[in-house]
Structure formats: C-alpha cells, structure tokens
Amino acid sequence: MSNFDIIVLGSGPGGYVAAIRASQLGFKTAIIEKESLGGVCLNWGCIPTKALLKSAQVFEYLLHAADYGLKAEGVDKDFNAVVKRSRNVAEGMSKGVQFLMKKNKIEVINGYGTLKPGKKVSVKSDDGKETEYSANNIIIATGARSRELPSLPQDGKKIIGYREAMSLDKQPKKMLVVGSGAIGIEFAYFYNAMGTDVTVVEFLPNVVPVEDEEVSKQLERSLKKTGIKIMTSSEVTKVDTSGPGVKATVKTSKGEEILEADIVLSAVGIKTNIENIGLENVGIATDRDKILVNDYYQTNIPGYFAIGDVTPGQALAHVASAEGILCVEKLADMHVEPLDYGNIPGCTYCSPEIASVGLTEKQAIEKGYEIKVGKFPFSASGKASASGNKDGFVKVIFDAKYGEWLGCHMIGAGVTDMIAEAVVARKLETTGHEILKSVHPHPTMSEAVMEAVAHAYGEVIHI
C-alpha cells in the first residue's frame, strides 16, 4: 500500500490547486481522478464555455461590422467548428494541469476513489482492479453536477444539462432554457447569438436572481433586445418528449402555456457529488447535500477534509481554489485566516457581462445600514461609446456613517475583469474617499468605478 502525506480526491480547481500547494509545502501528495484532470471547470465548465462565448461575441461583431464603418459580406458560422474549438481549448487546459502535476511531482492516480476508515482510499481503475492507498490527510474535492428536477428528467438528448449543451453535434433551431443563473444565461446568450430561437424560463421574479435588482432588470432589457424571450415567475411543470421535439408545459401568473422546442436545457443549479464516495464508511457528517466543515475545512472525522462545491460555501471555481490553498496551508501550520465569504466576486459571462461583490442595495437596507448609492452608466463613458458597448452601468453601495464599501455591482462589456478592484479595496477596508482620490486612467471602462463612487458622494463630473 502506497502511503502519502496528503491524498486529494478530485482534480477540479479545488483539488488540483490544493495538490500543487501541498507539494510546494513539502507534502508527499497524490491526486485521484476518475475522468480528466481539471475536473468539470476545465473540461466541461468555466473554460470551454468561455471559448463558446468568445466565438459568439466574434460572430456578433462580424454581423455588426457596419456599425464600425466596416464591410463583412457572406458572414456565417460553422457550429461544429465552434464546438470543436471549445473542446480543443479545454483539452489544452487539461494537458496544462497534467504538466503541473509532473512539475510538482504529484502522483496522479486514475480511477474512482472511495473513502475508507483509517485514512485510506480504495481506487477502482477502468479495468476493474482495486488498489488501496493511505494518507495522513485526505481532502475531498469531488465537485458537483447538473441538478435534475422531477418535472424535468434529463435524457441527454432532448432534455440536457450544461455538459451536453457545450458539445451538441447539431445546432437546435429552438431552445428552452430553464433557470436563469449564470449557466442558463450564458448558454441562452451563446445559442441566441448563434441564431437559435431561445426562451428563458425563471421561477423567481427576476433573471439572475442573486444579483442586485437593477442589474437583473438591465440584463433582461439587454437580452430581450437581442431577441431572447424571458418568462419570469414561471415554472416548467411537465415535459412531453414523445414527438420529434419537446413540448413543455409552463405555469405562469396568467395560466399555463405550452412551449415547443428542439431541446430543453435544464440549468436549475447543481447537485454535489457526495454519494458513493464512502462518506458513510467513515462517518463524515453532511447536511442538505453538503459536507460539514470548520473554518479550515476539517470534517467531523480527524484527517478528512473537504473543499469546493461539496461544502457550504459558494459553488465557484475561485472559491474552491482559495479553500484548497487555505486548507493545505493550515495543515502546514502556517498562519492563515478563514476565508471571507462576504467578499467573493461572482461573474456571469453573457453579453453584457455581470460582475458583483458584497451586499446588494436591498441586502444592505435589510441589514440596517444607512447607505450612499452611486451609479454611473456606460452610456456616459467615452471608452464604452468608442467600443460600441454602451449597455450597462457600475453601481456602488457605501455605509453612510463610516464609508465602508458594502457592495459593487456591474453590468457591461468586460466588467468581469473590473470587479477585482472592488474585491481588493474591500479587503483593505478602503473608503469611498480613497477610491475617489485614486486616479483612474482615461479612457477606460474601469474609470466608471471612480465615477460611480463620485456619484454616491455628490461629486460626479460626467453625468
């Protein structure tokens, strides 16, 4: 039996990052993966979807070349080539993780891992052979998958999840997207940009319901402008797949409607991969589909840790990576502070993009803060006008008493690259005055942050 200091179960952005940090700190480390290194994020999530979205964006630019004084005739898309490019990007990233494993002398064990008592993991390879490994510490990072609703059972053909959505061999003419979180909205944007007739059904009153209400309403306007149909406060109660396509019964405030589509994409959240990995063998405690951990990701059983989507924090790749690093550094007796889950940025890569951190305006009021709110529209931004991306705004929320930056919410071109300013500033407890007096470059999209802060404090120049 091979023995390690640390075994990591799962190689997604939590698992492989934890393994690399462990190796850097001198731990003899192994990682177990049943499929491809990089997990869902690199192979079927974050990275390949961004490749698809980039193709959609380029296609839109070509179709609107005349808006920039250019001529582009006979513009068309090759859907299969777009999908192939996305898969190639994912494959390249996965190979990059393979390289990092070798570079950091991490043993990669291919197969399905099951936890055993006594800090052991049994790994079953594709040929059915089982091998047992032991470690001083085991980190569970098995991630999550597309959640299924009883009224919307996925068959992988007519009713699909995100994995099938990024590798269809034929572009659907009509698509129904159920759920308007990041996954649903990103695919709605992609397929609509490619020419598919897209309808989005959302159970709650607003699309992207975790976002600030003003951002949600702006996104809905922007999506409708591109031809996407939006149905909020609506629910798919049943589907009929007996015909050539799908007939979905949608319950709305006005009654029931029957919608027809070639394919239904179920994007109603995720289900953690905590079944059949041996949690019950060890006695690891769970609650509501999550593994219970302390501030440093220790489970209730000594020597067993959990990070990423299987734990109660936000199910985001960058959260999993941060948790993995923090977990391992604590094991190495380094001085670490618990992760601040109130300062985690969230990003949605549709067009216009969405990025946010901290409290929404509604949440700040509910918490009893007296607030200052500032908002700067990209329609007043020189850079946005020059680039032809005037949709959206930056919204900032400050505590009126102490100047604490409570929240920042953006919708517009490239805002997923801008949100880090607010994250770092909040980490450093920066006040609105300090942002105002930090000179921002002109012309840039990012100066909208400074302008929004100026608006909050009654000093805005350009609106």
**Sign of torsion, CA 372 378 380 382?**
positive
452 phi and psi angles, rounded to 5 deg: -65, -40
Q: pLDDT per residue over 152-173, tens digit each?
A: 999 999 999 999 999 999 999 9
The helix/strand/coil state of 208 is coil
**Domains recognised in the chain with CATH numbers:** 2-146+271-341 (3.50.50.60), 159-268 (3.50.50.60), 352-456 (3.30.390.30)
User: Which residues face 108 on adjacent strands?
Assistant: 31
Q: Which residues are catalytic?
A: 442
Asked whether residue 161 is marked as a ligand-binding residue, the answer is no
Q: pLDDT per residue over 220-250, tens digit each?
A: 999 999 999 999 999 999 999 999 999 999 9
Q: pLDDT per residue over 8-35, tens digit each?
A: 999 999 999 999 999 999 999 999 999 9
For the chain, give the percent of residues with pLDDT over 90: 95
pLDDT at 41: 83
Spatial separation of the C-alpha atoms in residues 199 and 179, rounded to whole Å: 10
For the chain, give the percent of residues with pLDDT over 70: 100
Q: pLDDT per residue over 410-426, tens digit each?
A: 999 999 999 999 999 99
Average confidence (pLDDT) over 77-105: 95
Q: pLDDT per residue over 262-314, tens digit each?
A: 999 999 999 999 999 999 999 999 999 999 999 999 999 999 999 999 999 99
| Confidence grade of residue 1 (pLDDT, cut at 50, 70, 90) | low
Asked whether residue 193 is marked as a ligand-binding residue, the answer is no
Asked whether residue 50 is marked as a ligand-binding residue, the answer is yes
Spatial separation of the C-alpha atoms in residues 350 and 53, rounded to whole Å: 7
pTM (2 decimals)?
Answer: 0.95
The helix/strand/coil state of 59 is helix
